[in-house]
Amino acid sequence: MRQTLVPILLLCAALATVGVGVVAVLQRSRADLVQQFARDRQAQLDEATRGVNEALDDVSDDLLFAGELLSQPGTSEEHRRELRALLEVIGQYKVIAAYDDAGVERLRLVDRRADPVVVQGTFFPALGETARRALEHAPGEITSSPPLTGAGGGWLRILATAIPAEAGVPQGAVAVLVDTQSVFAPLRIVSSDPEARLLLIGAHGKPSVASDPGLASWYQRLESEQGRVPTYASLAEKMRAGERGILLIGEQEAERLGLGKAEAVAAFTSIPLRGGSHWSAATLVSTIALRSHERGLIVRLSLAAMLVTLFLVAFGVYVIVAQRRAVALRESRRHADRLAHLHDKTQKILDNIPTGVLALTEEGRISAVNQALGSRMPSNVVGAPLAAAFPQASEPVLKRLQGVVEAAIREARVRSLLGEPLALFGEEGQYSIHAVPLEAREPEVRTLLVVEDLSNVRALESQLLRAEKFATVGVLAAGIAHEIGTPLGVVRGRAEYVLGKLGSAHPQAAGVGVIIEQIDRVSRTIRQLLDFSRLQPAAVRPVAIGSLLRDVSELLRLEAERRQVRIEWELPEGLPAIAADPDQLQQVLVNLTLNACDACSAGGRVRLTAAAPDDSSSGAWGFVTLTVQDDGCGIPPENLHQVFDPFFTTKKRGQGTGLGLTMVAHVVRNHGGRVELESEPGRGTCVTLLWPAAGPAAAEEQHVI
């Protein structure tokens, strides 16, 4: 006993010594932690200001671009039109104005979406003043105005630059009123920490509205109260000078600044503008969280050492007791191995049967689930009530399951639900449920719940019925087309004969013409029925998609113009050829494009696109994606599963036979492809064709041709 406890006690003493040493090391390295914390804040600030620099460079580039536009020959109306395009494209620009070399305004454009204060001209004098100051600098240098108040929440600034001339002398200036809120949006990341405060100093040395109100207030009072916050005053001076660095603020000064009762870290950097001026940003973060983390770590280490010590002591006691029970444990282990072998065999049998099996305890809790059913349930259902196994099932469904289980236990016989439509896993399916009661002497497995999923069987039955229906419809369509087509041809011939005898001026000529038009419409329907009933096998060969899309677009151009719908197509480089019958593929694309045009109102758009297999242009074998998308009225959800059925149509009577999409589905499937449809009422419809790509040999043959 003593020989066992002595090593344990020595180990506990060693652990305690290590814990004390860790605490001492943590305390000594606190300064290093603060420095690392400051460097991390500086890196975060640099990353945020990099985004601000890019945004300011974009504004400067736009100003230079506007100046170059104005320096080019052209009428005032042309310049106005070009600047209007720039104003409407970039939402943060509210006003753009151009001035001559004397600072006299040449033209001014105001964004119609701007605040009424801007539209009324409150900032027009400031625009002119900033432009005149820009004339004092070289072209390309950016001149900024002081903060503007009265609109935009204090984010409005005016930026101006001189317009370059051939001799290097500015021939005028261009100024823009900018809402800089989006420009400085990347700085929000540095103030996302609740302990962080942001100070943003503008080009004129004044705090921006993005600054923390408390820090901005202290900044305004620095002249009179500089002695109370000397480090903060030094920070403000360095920021005005455009420097970059890190300052540590003492605990008392940080508390005065509203940063909490702990030391604070101030990281600052400049945001230069072209021409020499700059903004400056700083983030001030309290180290109170670092201190709390350090204390928490020490406490956790101490508790961990105590727990380990207690565990080792308990383990030593357990080892001593276990030695006395070794013989009994060996015998128990032999029996346990035998039981484990039997359990493993049983579990393998249950896991490899396709039917789901779930075991319930005497209290109605789940004690085991086989693999077929467990893959469709949450991972932590063992030990939970029966309802936890089917979290997506409704309350009535769960009550039915519970009722079957209770009835099986009460009557001591198997109770079943056969072929019931139940939504056990979110979507409704066909299931047979069997509750099998077991002997009461085993409380851990009191009842077995067997779940047979019949959904796939029912789906196959539905597909078989659907195929038989289509076959019957095809035979019926062929018979009807043959019996009606011949008499209609005779009637049309007689109608044309009568029309020829009457002449176009006869009062009844229009009526006879209507008869001929209606016969032609019926004949077209009959031809579609015949096409549907005797779909020809596809003569597959490599087809270049680009020329086919151009042909379809050109073929339907006049029809689209008549309906005031725009047809667009897009084709990536290096797209492989596809294996298709060109005529049947063109028929598919024409049908889909016409349907898309029918769904669009005047001013709508139909877009045809293609994509290589696996979103690559390598030409690997696979499916090429062809998409026909419109922004029309869309298809109601209740009709989505019917759109490919024969004779189903949402068009008005006389405007469609309901065979177009059925033919599309037949042709695509005949080529080994798939059709996918997505639609949302009021947002439009997207039909995606997954078409087999031509193999490498076929592609090479096409290239040689």
**Residue pLDDT, tens place only, 453-480:** 777 766 666 666 665 666 666 666 666 6
Burial class (CB in 10 A: 0-12, 13-18, 19+), 314: exposed
Q: If you average pLDDT over residues 394-405, what whole number do you get?
A: 84
* Rounded Cα gap, residues 251 and 265, in angstroms: 10
The answer to whether the beta carbons of residues 437 and 404 sit under 8 Å apart is: no
So what's the pLDDT on residue 357? 84
The answer to whether the beta carbons of residues 293 and 33 sit under 8 Å apart is: no
Q: Is 179 helix (H, G, I), strand (E, B) or coil?
A: strand
* Rounded Cα gap, residues 505 and 154, in angstroms: 77
Lowest mean pLDDT among 1-10, 569-578, 663-672, 674-683: 1-10
The answer to whether the beta carbons of residues 640 and 607 sit under 8 Å apart is: no
So what's the pLDDT on residue 619? 41
Of residues 219 and 498, the one with the higher pLDDT is 219
Strands 566-570 and 605-611: parallel
Helices within 388-508 (DSSP H only): 395-411, 455-502
pLDDT band, very low/low/confident/very high, at 350 (cuts 50, 70, 90): low
The answer to whether the beta carbons of residues 601 and 520 sit under 8 Å apart is: no
pLDDT band, very low/low/confident/very high, at 697 (cuts 50, 70, 90): very low
- Candidates 59, 57, 109; CA nearest to 87 is 109
pLDDT band, very low/low/confident/very high, at 427 (cuts 50, 70, 90): confident
Output the CA torsion 188→189→191→195 (10° steps). Answer: 160
**Residue 420 reports pLDDT greater than 70:** yes
Q: If you average pLDDT over residues 101-124, what whole number do you get?
A: 81
Q: At CA 543, angle to CA 539 and CA 548, rounded to 5?
A: 115
Q: Is 306 helix (H, G, I), strand (E, B) or coil?
A: helix
pLDDT band, very low/low/confident/very high, at 700 (cuts 50, 70, 90): very low
**Residue 526 reports pLDDT greater than 80:** no
Q: Give the whole-number percent of the chain exceeding pLDDT 90.
A: 3
Highest mean pLDDT among 253-257, 525-529, 592-596: 592-596
Instruction: Give pLDDT tens digits for 135-145.
Output: 888 887 888 88
Neighbour tally for 270: CB within 10 Å? 19
Show Cβ contacts of residue 260 under 8 Å, excluding neighbours closer than 6 positions.
195, 254, 286, 288
Beta bridge partners of residue 110, listed in sequence order: 95
Instruction: Give pLDDT tens digits for 557-580.
Output: 888 888 889 988 888 888 888 888
Q: If you average pLDDT over residues 326-352, what whole number do you get?
A: 71
**Residue 428 reports pLDDT greater than 90:** no
So what's the pLDDT on residue 15? 60
Q: What is the DSSP string of 112-150?
A: TTS-HHHHTTTTHHHHHHHHHHHTTS-TT--EEPPP--S
**Residue 536 reports pLDDT greater than 60:** no
Neighbour tally for 362: CB within 10 Å? 14
**Residue 14 reports pLDDT greater than 70:** no
Lowest mean pLDDT among 188-192, 339-343, 532-536, 551-555: 532-536
Instruction: Give pLDDT tens digits for 268-314.
Output: 988 888 777 788 888 888 887 776 666 666 677 667 767 766 776 67
